[in-house]
Structure 1
Amino acid sequence: MLDQVNGTAPQAIQLSTLGQWSEEHMAAIFEAVTEEDALKAIADTFPDDVRASLNGSPLPRSMIDKLVLIMRPGPQGGLKVHWKERAEVPKDLGHRNGAFGGFYYITGIRKPHPETGEIVPFIRYKTVTVKIESMSEDLSYDSRKITELVFVGSDKPAE
């Protein structure tokens, strides 16, 4: 496909690795200052038809939005993502497609303690595996999204 102004093919941009892309997108989702920013980050990360599961149960795309918003301690955010392990396997040299897996935890969650009912800080521990695919053949921009997501997560009171 040629550029209509100068008749040349668009330049392919250099993309970040799948791991860098994943870390940036998870931070954008969970560390967003506003709910609007969090929802935009989710839309930038997942297509509407993402195939997802949470702890073995199907997770429709609309529930991803709701789960993220419920986790937020307030309208101005306050969550922080901490990566512990990650593995990536690109399917191509340009990192447009591939798989990524990792373990991270999220701090800043506040919810009732299961024994006392008192609102206390919690930590969410998550293991994720994802399939990342480019949504466009156009190499002049980054069109990657997570098309498949499997995650296992559990919350524990912070000590």
Structure 2
Amino acid sequence: MAQPAPSLPSNTTVKLSSLAQWSVERIAAIFEAATEEDALKAIAETFPDDVHASLNGSPLPRPMIDKAVLAMRPGPKGGLKVVWKEKTEAPTDSSNRNGAFGGYYHITGILKPDPETKQLVPFVRHKIVTVKIQSQSEDLSYDSRKITELVYVACDHPTA
């Protein structure tokens, strides 16, 4: 996604998807990735190394995003699913290159030890996110958007 399309001249402007569509696709690529390698690649394509992020009010450096995503995966072959409940966007330009996005979603497929029995049981993560999305390049021939600021609140609940 962050690489220029080889068949387009550099003076061609690519029509970009909405910030909401882009965000939904990026979040799915991260959490629903088939392999850990794919998840890490999706994270790198979504966040710059200097992203400003926080989780439940505490700073979250970029390497910790990688670790948090990998720790959620029930196994190396994936198994997570993102279910969007609400989403909204606020582009700052008509090209959708920059702006803000917010949403609420669940991640299913998480396995964690039950606090009482210590057996692995399914959990659902509830997440509310707000992000700032910015193009990383002046070149309009490819999509260089990344999340440069991320604030999210998350908690896990056992499934019924």
User: Following TM superposition, where does structure 1 have runs of at least 4 consecutive aligned residues deviating by more than 3 angstroms?
Assistant: none
Separation in structure 1 between the aligned mates of residue 41 and residue 112 of structure 2, nearest angstrom: 25
> What are the Cα deviations for residues 90-149 of structure 1, in whole angstroms up to 9, with x where unaligned?
000000000000000000000101122111000000000000000000000000000000
Alignment of 1:124-143 (within 5 A): 124-143=125-144
Match of residue 115 from structure 1: 116
Structure 1: which amino acid aligns with 2:48? P
1:78 aligned onto 2:69: no
**Ranges in structure 1 where 5+ consecutive residues have no aligned partner:** 1-7
Query: Quick one: percent identity of the two aligned structures?
Result: 70
1:157 shift after superposition: 0.3
Shift of 1:10: 1.4
* 1:32 alignment partner AA: A
Flag the 1:90–1:122 CA change in 2: closer, same or farther, 3 A.
Answer: same
Query: 1:13-43 CA deviation, whole Å, 9 max, x = no partner?
Result: 0000000000000000000000000000000
Alignment partner, residue 5 of structure 2: none
3-state SS of the aligned residue for 2:106?
strand
TM-score normalized by structure 2?
0.93
Count the aligned residue pairs.
152
| CA-atom RMSD in angstroms | 0.9
Secondary structure of residue in 2 paired with 1:122: strand
Equivalent-residue separation in structure 2 for 1:43 and 1:13 (angstroms): 21
In the TM superposition, residue 9 of structure 1 has moved relative to its aligned partner by: 6.0
Equivalent in the alignment of 1:3: none
**Structure with the larger RCO, 1 or 2 (CA within 8 Å, 6+ apart):** 2
- Higher gyration radius (CA): 1
Unmatched 5+ stretches in structure 2: 1-8
- Give me the whole-angstrom Cα distance separating, in 2, the residues matched to 1:94 and 1:106: 30
- Residue 51 in 1 paired to residue 26 in 2? no
3-state SS in 2 of match to 1:40: helix
